[in-house]
Structure 1
Amino acid sequence: MKYYIGIDLGGTNIAAGLVGEDASLKNHLSIPTKSGRSACEIVRDMAGLARKAAALYGIDWKDIEAVGIGVPGTANRDTGMVEYANNLGFYKEPIVPMLEEELPGKPIRFDNDANAAAWGEYLAGSGKGSKSMLAVTLGTGIGGGIILDGKIFQGVNYAAGEFGHFVIDRNGLECNCGRKGCFEAYASATALIAQTKEAMKENPDSLLWELCGGDPGLVEGKTLFDGVRKQDKTAKRVLDRYIEYLSAGLVNLINIFQPELICIGGGISKAGDLLLKPLKEIVDREDYARTSRVRTRLAVAELDNDAGLIGAALLKE
């Protein structure tokens, strides 16, 4: 068995894990990122965590084949530089060269964290066995990853897969990217929570108030789905509208790429059939290739946070 180290660099935590060549995750370690520090300090922590992951499993460091990193922001694979990562305060930071100094003799590979997570899901999760897959992660924003013919598609500037920022309503809500009506502004977990709170204000008798203890500040994605399960009419209306927004974006992606699979991740995906069943009905009805014998499948991500570590560890050169 060959072993690799995967590192997931986030704004809150740095995670690392030992991964086998069969895409099995052997362990998972994490420490606070303490963003605002220099890139050098963060890289030293990444290197230390990588060595610790190997040691805790009883693997000699010399037997580690390679180290892979998933980073937020734009990862320039030609230079090994993080071009920009706003939540870390990084601008043109040479992460790979710095890590090569900390871990001499080991190949260092890196990519955007959404691409790494998509690659992990493709290798060991719901995308296993497919040749083409899109990963759509519904979180604070909407993350994306594109796998075509068994390879990560990165775009000419390594910034492909920003699914959250195509427009579904030209005159719609303002997005933090500077445009109006972005998919992310309507279909992210953040958007769903905002939609739920707005509906609660308009419906003071909704069961949603009870489910959040009367405090709108405690509303999360799960709150809405709990309300739907309890047959709250307000919750059902919010979900129906949200699924219309989400399906609009997914149908656009299907019409552009026609992948074998779209893998939906993020906390909202844990709602399972409450989300997936009505979503599939709309997608099946609106997909341009709806008369084709072969159709794009929708599936829920299987690996949660492990996807980023597995994908990073097994990135290709």
Structure 2
Amino acid sequence: MKKYTIGVDLGGTTITAGIVDEEFKVLHTCTCATDLPQPEHVIEEKIANLCRQVLVESNLTMDDLLWIGIGSPGSVNSSTGVVNFNANFGYREWHLQENMEKLLGCKVYIENDANAAAYGEYIAGGARNTRYAVVITLGTGIGAGIIIDGKIFAGFNYAGAELGHMVIQKDGRPCKCGRNGCWEKYASSSALAEDAKATMLAHPQNMMWKLVDGDINKVGAKTVFDGMAAGDELATMLVNKFVEYIACGLTNVVNIFQPEVICIGGGVSKQGEVLLAPVRKLVDWEDYARDGNRRVNIKCAELFNDAGVVGAAWLGNQEKL
């Protein structure tokens, strides 16, 4: 008899629950607004209701499930089932696993959301058929997940893989984490957008203004790539610098972990080879193991928004390792 799982991607804006089959295919999803701030029990009820809804809409019942997996932001202790700290939600010592098992009456696994997304890419996306992988999302910040010998790496305190907060510029731009010069302050999509805004304000005749109809609030990372494609020199300069920042951090990641593959996700990854080809060139030149025959494969992530659902859905397989 075919069995299914539910994967829940808990985000600060939306919560998504998806039915996932044994071939790691997302069969159906349901989404609702998170509506923060909310007390813990409200979020738990939202998750439970979404799980029930996606089952009903898929003509399935709890008896058809192996388990439910949840990817949550924050420091998540997957062994105890406790979210030690979730800054965006304002929760500390959140007993998410225990509470959800009581609500749903089935086995529940939890993991950090970035780790769950990385696991999704590992089992069904751009990192499949490897044993050592790093998945990096270039978004508002830089999210990351690390797979070592098939297992999610979280560190002894379950706060590992915060690659966006390694410093690439000593005494550089201030970061909300309290440090200066963090990678995500230079190589995230939001960092590129902020650099573009500063450049445009300094050059009011720049063509990127036309791309956003004169509204600085519409500027995003794509604006810069569109400007470069149209031949704008300032946009090209910004993209080239952005590539250097990405490559700097990736080279650090390669030198520390030597993964088989690094998958790049986030909206900016849709630029494909326009972004990745020059990044690879710089990493290949700077990588400590550049004289070896076995080199890291830097490629786009494949699952995009489904990665968190797929990875969370099959967290139960991690327990078997």
Please say whether Structure 1 and Structure 2 have the same fold, judged by a TM-score greater than 0.5: yes
Tell me the amino acid that sits aligned with residue 118 of structure 2: A
Aligned length: 316
2:207 and 2:277 mapped to 1: Cα distance?
A: 23
1:121-200 alignment to 2 at 5 Å? Answer: 121-200=121-200
Tell me the amino acid that sits aligned with residue 151 of structure 2: K
What's the secondary structure of 2:27's corresponding residue? coil
Q: Deviations over 1:19-53 (max 9, x none)?
A: 01111110111001111111111111101111211
Tell me the equivalent position of 1:17: 18
1:24-63 alignment to 2 at 5 Å? Answer: 24-63=25-64
Tell me the amino acid that sits aligned with residue 58 of structure 2: Y
Tell me the amino acid that sits aligned with residue 85 of structure 1: N
How many Å apart are 1:216 and its aligned residue? 1.1
1:148-297 alignment to 2 at 5 Å? Answer: 148-297=148-297
**Equivalent pair of 1:55/1:61 in contact (CA under 8 Å):** no
How many Å apart are 1:78 and its aligned residue? 2.7
Unaligned runs of 5+ in 2: none
How many Å apart are 1:165 and its aligned residue? 0.5
1:220 and 1:179 mapped to 2: Cα distance?
A: 25
Q: Deviations over 1:284-311 (max 9, x none)?
A: 1111111110100101111111000000
Identity %: 44
Tell me the amino acid that sits aligned with residue 231 of structure 2: Q
2:15 and 2:40 mapped to 1: Cα distance?
A: 13
What's the secondary structure of 1:235's corresponding residue? helix
When the two chains are superposed, the root-mean-square deviation of aligned CA atoms in Å is: 0.9
Tell me the equivalent position of 2:94: 93
Tell me the equivalent position of 2:72: 71
How many Å apart are 1:74 and its aligned residue? 0.8
1:82 and 1:102 mapped to 2: Cα distance?
A: 17
Tell me the amino acid that sits aligned with residue 174 of structure 2: E
Are 2:85 and 1:84 aligned? yes
What's the secondary structure of 2:299's corresponding residue? strand
**Equivalent pair of 1:203/1:234 in contact (CA under 8 Å):** no
2:230 and 2:41 mapped to 1: Cα distance?
A: 51
Q: Deviations over 1:231-285 (max 9, x none)?
A: 1111000001111111000000000000000000101111111111111111111
Normalised by the size of structure 2, how large is the TM-score? 0.97
**Equivalent pair of 1:7/1:14 in contact (CA under 8 Å):** yes
Unaligned runs of 5+ in 1: none
How many Å apart are 1:205 and its aligned residue? 2.2
Displaced runs of 4 or more, over 4 A? none
Tell me the amino acid that sits aligned with residue 81 of structure 2: G
Normalised by the size of structure 1, how large is the TM-score? 0.98
2:141 and 2:123 mapped to 1: Cα distance?
A: 24
What's the secondary structure of 2:26's corresponding residue? coil
2:156 and 2:229 mapped to 1: Cα distance?
A: 45
1:45 and 1:257 mapped to 2: Cα distance?
A: 38
2:93 and 2:41 mapped to 1: Cα distance?
A: 13
Q: Deviations over 1:48-85 (max 9, x none)?
A: 11121122111222111100000010111232111111
